[in-house]
Amino acid sequence: MKAKAVSYDYTASIECLAQPHKAQYGGGIIKNPEFNEGLNGWSTFGNAIIQHRNESNANKFVVARKRTQPQAGVSHKLYLQTNLLYTFSAWVQVSEGKPLVRAVFKTPTGFKHAAATVAESGCWSMLKGGLTVDASGPAQLFFESQDTSVEIWVDSVSLQPFTHEELRQGNPVANSKISIKQKVSGKPVGCATNNYIVNSAGYQNWFSSRFTHTTFANEMKWYSNEAIRGKENYSVSDSMMAIMKQHNIAVRGHNIFWDDPKYQPSWVPSLGQNDLWAAASNRIKSVMTKYKGQVIGWDVVNENLHFNFFESKLGADASSTFYKMASSIDSSVPLFLNEYNTLEEKGDPTSTLAKYLAKLWEIQKALGANYKQMAIGLQGHFSVPNLPYIRSSLDTLAATKLAIWLTEIDVKSNPNEATYLEQVLREGHSHPGVNGMIIWSTWNPEGCCGLCLTDNNFNNLATGDVVDKLLKEWGIKATLEGQTDAHGFFEASLFHGEYEIEISGPANTSLSQSFKVEPRHELDHQIMLLQVST
């Protein structure tokens, strides 16, 4: 007998609510997840006092008080296995202030950070995350905050294990009996490119036969367009844009500014405040006006959680000002907050989900009525992808109802590189909140930097084979061909997008028609059943 699989719960909340939601999956493997049985299954971690409490509406929860260490508080013991993927959620509140609260698992091989949020007093915030473990064995969940003066309240805790097969979406059925060609993908998968594509027919052919979307790796950045102050040069990016137009490949604008001080034009760091404002204003007007109507979105200030070059020179609201300027120049395309380690590394305190959302809301406030123009850009530079954490993080960010792109997907070179790349691409493509993905791989005759998809003869490496397999599976740049059955029926599983169908019948009759497959709930593909009749 086969047990019925548990469906993944994409629900997440970014609001601070008067009451917590019920525990997802009924708590999963957590005992007494909503504290309806007092403190049964729960104990103290470190130096703290834990107490069971009831709210006036009969909601029950646990409180950790008199904490003398960041890790001190409430704890739950369990057993974790290496072959499973764990998705975690909980609701937390604090007695005062707005400190960062983390959910941490102590495992045989070390501490695993599962989730983090900025908790508040008087309302409940959702923690959502996930983890995998390096070795099976006993583990201990606890909640930590560097602010030891606050009480941590915890409720509705859940830890649900999934197998890789359960967490992965089902494979589409590709046994169509007719000719269907996808014209526009509902969830684009593209790849970065660079200046070498201008003079390499081999690179152009390999690239254009696969991808519908791209990002120029360096050629649209400020240091490429204005290496010498006042002497703008868009010749390379113009040549690349012409190639993309020739092959109907959409381009993401990357980037207007980069907040890392290492990647400024050489003449910029020495400018005074007034001159820097003037130069930056000219830059944003120049590049956005030039490529208005030619790009599908802009990374306005790249990596402005990890770095603060412009803020240090122009003031704390520099990024917000740049986004506001960008919106006034072109309000028709999304403006992305593009960062790393929001999906990749949950241990990076600089770009946690809470800090990403705080920066996002700060910029949205500056945009005023155009706040919905903001979009979420998640770079995705992975070593070993933590799939449950990726999915739960996407759940949380999707609660903003803004467009989400995985903008720079790559995997560090290792023996499992192709496998990990496939896992990340499948996770992004299957998530209902993700609108598109760009693989961060470019060809260089002297050897690619980072992820490589081909050799110098444009023969696929294992990673390139993975990409081709997925593009074919998802119907991107592919045509499904066949014939109807004896009853005039054919069935196909189609991903979201725009299609053209061609039907050739008896007596040289033919029909050509376009149609669109729209999203429905959380499904990333839909079954189409067509009967051809006269």
Q: Which residues are catalytic?
A: 303, 408
Residue type, 34: E
Bridge partners of 197, per DSSP, are none
- C-alpha 372, offset from chain centre: 18
Distance between CA atoms of residues 411 and 467, nearest Å: 13
Q: What is the DSSP letter of 172?
A: P
Please choose, from the candidates 499, 494, 501, the residue with its C-alpha nearest in 3D space to the C-alpha of residue 532.
Answer: 501
Go through the chain and tell me how many residues it has. 534
Helix (H) or strand (E) holding 213: strand 213-216
Q: How many helices and strands, by DSSP H and E, does the chain display?
A: 11, 25
Cβ-in-10-Å burial (0-12, 13-18, 19+) of 410 comes to buried
DSSP alpha helix (H) spans, 130-210: 164-167, 201-208
Torsion of CA 258, 262, 263, 264, to 10 degrees: 90
Distance between CA atoms of residues 108 and 133, nearest Å: 9
Helix (H) or strand (E) holding 222: helix 222-225
How many CA atoms lie less than 13 Å away from 114 in the CB half-sphere?
A: 30
- For the four alpha carbons of 397, 398, 404 and 407, in that order, the dihedral sign comes to positive
- C-alpha 31, offset from chain centre: 31
Distance between CA atoms of residues 45 and 76, nearest Å: 9
Cβ-in-10-Å burial (0-12, 13-18, 19+) of 117 comes to buried
